[in-house]
Amino acid sequence: MKFSSIKTMPKNVVRDTLKSIERNNLMSAASVLSVIAALIILGIFLILTINVQEVTKDVESKLELKIFLQSDFTDTQKATIEQALEKSDLIEEVTFESAEEALEKFTVSLEDYAPLLSGYNSENNPMPASFVVRVTDPDDMDEVQTLAMSFEGQGVEYVRYGQEYVEALVSFNKFTNTLSIVVLVVLSMISIFIIYNTIKLTVFARRREIGIMKYVGATNAYIRAPFILEGTLLGLMGAIVAFLIIRITYYYILGLVGGNLFLPVDASLASPDAVMGQLIFFYLIYGGFIGAVGSVFAIRKFLDV
Amino acid sequence: MIEFKNVTKGYDKNKSDALKNVSLFIDKGEFVFLVGRSGAGKSTFIKLLLREIEATEGSVYINNFNVSKLSKKEIPFLRRKMGIVFQDFRLLENKSVYENVAYAMEIIGKSEKQIQKRVPLALDMVGLSHRMNHYPHELSGGEQQRVVIARAIINNPSILICDEPTGNLDPETSYEIISILEEINRRGTTVVVVTHDREIVDTMKKRVLTLEDGVLKVDDATGRYGYEV
């Protein structure tokens, strides 16, 4: 019995739902608009979050830790340090940069001013030798630093990495994440409330019908279905419109900025197509979800006959 | 089959109970009138049958099922075994006569083919075949009540419950409605008619249950209106 009732349901349900949206066109439009507004604001925060995450990841992956050696380190000390570093699980790659290589790199980087360094050679090289370390996880930077510093005085002069940048980025990342969640919760509640009210209107307009359905033996699921479908449809409509608006605006702004991030580090934004892919996925699920939840709340009271 | 076993129903602790220790048995295929003044407990009786409310004490059985023990999910399936006719018709105004009756079948998931076959038969049974495509507001009260009856029997319920079916109708139309109910009863459906209509009760000579202040006062198989006005 249950199966046959599900089989014939879609046709009636879709028919009733479309009729109802049409009948309440003003409130339906208001619901869709509220979803659009909520989703646009959410979208801005989401794009921000995605990009901050991307930049953070990018910067972190480029981060190196430099262990500068004392000018008078011995080969034994160098070997011991190198062994210790290579044994560590936290470290992905270790490269040794001799004083000569460091001087050469520095000379190259100075380009036109290279002659300034012409007085220096391997005899009076001011540059220290170093280990350049790339870590597996940027969060472990501190630990690697501690490890390297344990050789201080035994070959290691000092250790440095872009600590300030990393910490600033990580905390900014955390901040945008938290902000996005707060915005998500607040806007969800507002949208659900507005959809709830719209659906309550349609439920109220059809309360007689619901009563009759109950007496004839319709199951709650059957009665609920068209209202949930209606709410979901309203949410989805809002999602699609909001997505189009966000998409057009985002690409327009990207065109204006031209990839310039005004950041002190070399990093790139997330690929716009990937961001949009994530966004439409999130929008559809989210729009449908708040629509359905609003409807479930709206109809609950009227089912008690 | 309907059975009440020592059923008491109170809505409010400070007021007297709407039904007081009522026990009765209505067999399959019976035609029964339930009479009583306003507030005697007739509505409570119907609401208990539909499991709109639950008995405070005692149990209600329908076709040997203890209604009080049904879960919320099972209530719709209980109601499908019963047809219900209301005094105020409760038809859907924006649906035609045909659609109103078909609706009751749609809800429980009957196929379009079954619907197209059964609805005209039911409308024919209540004598409304020619009004199939009219809307409720185009019909007289008697005709509307016949649509309601067609809707109530469309799913072949074993019990038909009528709450003041003739309450809004003139005497002549009332008799037409009652004779339709009698015909339905003749085909094997248990019919319970809650009514005020003394004349009809007295002419029909069916079993009459009389409620007075929540107590079952008279259970008369010979068919006389059980209390004096």
Q: Which residue has the higher pLDDT, A169 or B194?
A: B194
Q: Please determine, for residue A63, whether its predicted confidence score (pLDDT) is greater than 70.
A: yes
Q: What is the pLDDT of residue B37?
A: 87
* DSSP reduced 3-state for B12: coil
Report the candidate in B135, B72, B143 with the shortest Cα–Cα distance to residue B98: B135
- B41 has pLDDT over 50: yes
Contact B92 A212 (CB under 8 A): yes
Q: Residues of chain A whose C-beta is under 8 A from some C-beta in B? A: 1-2, 4-9, 12, 208-209, 211-220, 222, 305
* Cβ–Cβ below 8 Å for B92 and A209: yes
Of A8, A218, A222, the CB nearest to B111: A8
Q: Convert A231-252 to b/e letters by CB count within 10 Å (16 or more is b).
A: bbbbbbbbbbbbbeebbeebee
Residues of B within 8 A of A205 (CB-CB) are none
Q: Which of B52, B73, B108 sits opposite A5 (nearest CB)?
A: B108
State mean pLDDT over B18-38: 93
Separation of CA A65 from chain center: 27
Residue A6 has a pLDDT of: 47
What percentage of chain A exceeds 70 in pLDDT? 88
Kindly state the average pLDDT of the residues A139-166: 78
| Minimum distance, in Å, between the CA of residue A11 and any CA atom of chain B | 10
- Shortest CA distance from B73: residue in chain A: A219
Is residue A166's pLDDT more than 80?
no
Report whether pLDDT(B226) > 70: no
CATH 3.30.70.3040 boundaries in chain A? 64-161
In chain A, what percentage of residues exceed pLDDT 90? 7
pLDDT at A21 over 70: yes
Question: Phi and psi for A132 in degrees, rounded to 5?
Answer: -100, 120
For residue B221, give how far its alpha carbon lies from the nearest alpha carbon of chain A (Å).
30
What pLDDT is attached to residue A2?
Answer: 42
- For B50-91, write each residue's pLDDT tens digit: 998 999 999 999 998 899 888 888 899 999 999 999 888 889
pLDDT given for residue A12 in this prediction = 67
- Which pLDDT does position B164 carry in this prediction? 92
Q: Which residue of A has its CA nearest to B155?
A: A216
Diameter of chain B by CA atoms? 54
Q: Which of A2, A14, A216, A222 to mutate to test the interface with B (most CBs of B within 10 A)?
A: A216
Residue A13 has pLDDT above 60, yes or no: yes
State residue A9's pLDDT score: 55
Instruction: Find the residue in A nearest to B95 (Cα).
Output: A209
Nearest to A217 among B77, B90, B112 (CB): B77
B76: nearest CB among A8, A211, A218: A218
The class level of CATH for A64-161 reads alpha beta
Task: Tell me how far apart the alpha carbons of residues A178 and A273 are, in angstroms, rounded to a whole number.
Answer: 24
Q: What pLDDT score does B210 carry?
A: 92
Of the two residues B191 and A157, the one the predictor is more confident about is: B191
In this complex, the residue of A8, A215, A222 whose CB is nearest that of residue B84 is A215
Residue in B79, B89, B107, B111 to test binding to A, most A beta-carbons within 10 Å: B107
Inter-chain touch A6–B109, beta carbons under 8 Å = yes
The rounded mean pLDDT for chain B is 90
Question: Which tokens is A189 given?
Answer: 């509640």
Low-confidence winner among A37-41, A145-149, A213-217, B69-73 (lowest mean pLDDT): A145-149
> Which residues share a beta bridge with B176?
none
Task: For residue B40, give how far its alpha carbon lies from the nearest alpha carbon of chain A (Å).
Answer: 22
Confidence of residue A217 (pLDDT cuts 50, 70, 90): confident
Instruction: Closest CB to B76: pick one of A4, A209, A219.
Output: A219
The pLDDT of residue B9 is above 60: yes
Q: Which residues of B70-90 are buried (b: 16+ CB within 10 A; e: fewer)?
A: beeeebbebbbebbbbbbebb
The model's pLDDT over B103-157, given as tens digits with 9 standing for 90+, comes to 899 888 889 999 999 999 999 999 999 999 999 999 999 999 999 999 999 999 9
| Residue B93: DSSP 8-state | T
C-alpha to C-alpha distances, B220 to B42, B214, B225, nearest whole angstrom: 17, 17, 9
**Phi and psi for B146 in degrees, rounded to 5?**
-70, -35
Question: Mean pLDDT, to the nearest integer, of B29-58?
Answer: 91
**How confident is the model at residue A259, as a pLDDT?**
58
Query: What is the spatial distance between Cα B229 and Cα B227, in angstroms, rounded to a whole number?
Result: 6
DSSP letters, A124-177, are S--PPPEEEEEESSGGGHHHHHHHHHTTBTTTEEEEE--HHHHHHHHHHHHHHH
Where residue B19 falls (left for φ over 0; alpha for ψ -120 to 50; beta otherwise) is beta
By Cβ distance, the residue of B73, B76, B112 closest to A217 is B76
pLDDT band at A82 (very low <50, low <70, confident <90, very high): confident
- Tens digit of pLDDT for each residue in A259-277? 566 655 556 677 888 888 8
Would you state the pLDDT for residue B105? 92
Given CA atoms A203, A206, A207, A210 in this order, what sign does their dihedral have? negative
What single letter denotes the amino acid at residue B81?
K
Chain A residue numbers touching B107 (CB-CB < 8 A): 5, 213, 216-218, 222
DSSP 8-state symbol, B53: S
> What digits encode the pLDDT tens for the residues A224-262?
888 888 889 988 999 999 999 999 998 888 888 765 666
Q: Do B90 and A216 touch (CB under 8 A)?
A: no
**pLDDT of res. B153:** 94
What pTM was estimated for this model as a whole? Answer: 0.67
- What is the tally of helices (H) and strands (E) in chain B? 7, 10
Both tokens of residue A302? 């009227």
Q: Is residue B216 within 8 Å of B24, Cβ to Cβ? A: yes
Residue B210 and residue B201 in contact, taking contact as beta carbons nearer than 8 Å? no
Asked if B107 and A217 come within 8 Å (Cβ–Cβ), the reply is yes
Asked if B110 and A9 come within 8 Å (Cβ–Cβ), the reply is no
